[in-house]
Amino acid sequence: MARNDLIGGALWEEYSQEVQRRMDAPTNMGEITEEEKGDNELIIADFGAESCGDAVRLYWLIDPKTDTIKKSKFKSFGCGTAIASSDMMAELCMDKTVQEALKITNIDVEKALRDTPDIPAVPGQKMHCSVMAYDVIKKAASMYMNVDMESLESEFIICECARVSQETLSEVIKLNKLTTVEEVTNYTKAGGFCKSCIKPGGHEHKDIYIVDLLLEINEQRVMEEKSRKIIEAKGDGTFETMSLVQKIKAVESILEEFIRPTLKADGGNVELIDIQHVEGIFDVLIKYQGECMSCSMNTTTTLAGIEDMLKFRLKAPIKVVVR
């Protein structure tokens, strides 16, 4: 049966010619035996992806004097994309030091498989098949360096396909005030391939998703913006030492955040008319609007609630007067 029939014509066209070639005739598939070792060190590392059942075995022949990978081979147990990615991964390791090989990312592998620089080598949903490239390199390096594999990962990775960490994503979202997944992908490439890192329900389970980061950071930004506005309105001193403009801004910010949402929910509203200083008391003059104008509690419960909130937030002797 033709590979085109197995994969589907439309999907097959999304694979680069280089990927197709390495699927059918991988250049670096095979093993390195003890007989080939000589004075070099032989490392054999295995890594499997639980999400799709693919597995890869990486062979390195390393010159211990220079830590240079003199020969690199692989065996892959998985789909054609995993084979092609593993083949390119093994090739990219050749003649590099172990530390240099650790810098190879899944994006490096995918880009090396492209026919043209601006056209992806594999469809996005198959990008996860190249995730094993970085992981098996890290496994081989940890074996050679005799350290724990996790010690080589200094950051918590959210997007495995693009190797983008939580720290990087958080910084980019904050710095550029991003609000959508599409914006995050445009800035970082995270979420642009298998999409498992975007939200629950993808190819792989994640402890943290891009949507979680967006929600958390944007909620924090909103709270910081509210606090900033109140601080700016209050100035550096107390309510008593503010200018009239600062006092008005301070009262307005509290009315907008704590009072108006409740009044508007019942069809009403409140307008700040003026602030007057009378015998040590700050009279805050207000005017009710909408349903509040005819409400029986506008001079009792509602009025007391507004006054108590302003006193509590501004720490000042305040009396609310209805006009």
> pLDDT digits over 79-101, tens only?
888 899 999 999 999 999 999 99
Last residue of one domain, picked from the residues 153, 182, 198: 153
Quote the domain boundaries for residue 55: 3-153
Do 249 and 217 lie in one domain? The reply is no
Q: How confident is the model over 131-184, as pLDDT tens digits?
A: 677 788 989 999 999 998 877 766 688 887 777 788 878 888 887 888 999 999
How many whole angstroms separate alpha carbon 236 and alpha carbon 223?
Answer: 20
Task: Give me the percent of the chain exceeding a pLDDT of 70.
Answer: 87
Supply the pLDDT for residue 5: 39
On the CB side of 47, how many CA atoms lie within 13 Å of its CA? 23
Q: Give yes or no for a contact between 157 and 164, defined as CB atoms under 8 angstroms apart.
A: yes
pLDDT band at 45 (very low <50, low <70, confident <90, very high): very high
Do 204 and 70 lie in one domain? The reply is no
Dig out the tokens for 99 from the structure.
């530390």
CATH number (domain holding residue 266): 3.30.300.130
How many whole angstroms separate alpha carbon 80 and alpha carbon 319?
Answer: 76
How many whole angstroms separate alpha carbon 196 and alpha carbon 209?
Answer: 8
Q: 164-165 and 157-159 as β-strands: parallel, antiparallel, unpaired? A: antiparallel
Do 105 and 115 lie in one domain? The reply is yes
Supply the pLDDT for residue 2: 36
Which range scores top for mean pLDDT: 6-15, 17-26, 192-201, 218-227?
17-26
Residues in the chain, overall count = 323
Do 39 and 109 lie in one domain? The reply is yes
**Burial of residue 51, with CB atoms counted within 10 A of its CB: 0-12 exposed, 13-18 middle, 19 or more buried:** middle
Query: Is 0.75 topped by the overall pTM?
Result: no
Supply the pLDDT for residue 150: 75
Give me the residues paired with residue 213 across strands: none
Do 8 and 138 lie in one domain? The reply is yes
Catalytic positions, written as ranges: 52, 129
Share the mean pLDDT of the chain.
86
Q: 318-322 and 281-290 as β-strands: parallel, antiparallel, unpaired? A: parallel
Domains in the chain, number: 3
